[in-house]
Amino acid sequence: MAGRNRTYPGWQLLLLLLALGGIIGGWIGDAIVKIWPFLSMLGHVQSVGLPTFTMDLQVFSLSFGFMLHINFFTIIGFVLAWFFYQRL
């Protein structure tokens, strides 16, 4: 139908699918690199983010940090998860 807008599920589902896609893509990538070691350059991991730092306040301590360990296969997982989200 012309002029009809498509509504997508919430952003929470998108984040969940992207996380699962990245995790599963990383697992599959590790398995592929173990089976075919000549593809090891595709399994090279690049880390992006903020390393963990801790504030000790004597009564309690707070730790902050966020790291993404990205390789070719996690990117493929992210893309497939996004396509799956678009199909919902």
Residue pLDDT, tens place only, 34-70: 999 888 888 888 899 998 999 998 899 999 999 988 9
* Average pLDDT score, the chain: 88
CA atoms within 13 A on the CB side of 26: 12
Share of the chain above pLDDT 90, in %: 51
| 3-state secondary structure (DSSP) of residue 75 | helix
Q: CB neighbours of 80 closer than 8 A, spacing ≥ 6?
A: 21, 25
Cβ within 8 Å of residue 40, ≥6 positions away? 33
Mean pLDDT of 6-33: 88
Number of other CB atoms surrounding residue 24 within 10 Å: 16
Residue with tokens 């990245």: 22
Domain residues of the chain, as ranges? Answer: 11-50+62-87
